[in-house]
Structure 1
Amino acid sequence: MFEYELHQIRRGELIREADEYRLARQAARGRRREGRTSAEPEPEGRVSASRGRRRRSVRAARA
């Protein structure tokens, strides 16, 4: 019986932890979305989107 109670306590902790993580992700996603939509549009638009993304061209192989 004691093991079952420990299991139930741990299960509750994991569920709460998952809920907190999900809430944090939703908040971050909302902040990113809000930042994109409320910003003033640039007259020419963005040319480069190199913030942490992979290179678009492949390096040449060395012989």
Structure 2
Amino acid sequence: MFAYELHELRSAELRRLAEQERLAAEALRGRRAARRTASREAPEAESHSGGPGRHRFTRAA
């Protein structure tokens, strides 16, 4: 009987953990979807990758 009760406790714990992981993944998907929507609706931003007069590395001495 004791082993069965331990099994039931562990099973319930695993179900709770799985539900928490599902909720976390759902929240993450929601945040990503909100960012995608916001980026589509936002005006084009200037690029921060550098311009014609800007170099990636500094000059050596």
Identify whether the pair has TM-score above 0.5, normalized to the shorter chain: yes
Structure 1 unmatched ranges of 5 or more: 50-55
Give the TM-score, by structure 1 length: 0.65
Q: Deviations over 1:41-61 (max 9, x none)?
A: 3xxx41326xxxxxx548x7x
Aligned-partner SS, 2:46 = coil
The offset of 1:40, in angstroms, is 2.3
In 2, Cα distance between equivalents of 1:32 and 1:38: 10
In the alignment, residue 46 of structure 2 is paired with which amino acid? R
- What is the count of residue pairs matched by the alignment? 50
- Calculate percent identity across the aligned residue pairs: 20
Task: Please identify the structure whose Cα radius of gyration is greater.
Answer: 2
Q: Which has the higher helix share?
A: 2
Give the TM-score, by structure 2 length: 0.67
1:34 to 37, 45, 49: 37
**Which residue of the partner structure matches residue 53 of structure 1?**
none
Structure 2 unmatched ranges of 5 or more: 50-55
Structure 1 residue runs of 4+, over 4 Å off?
Answer: none
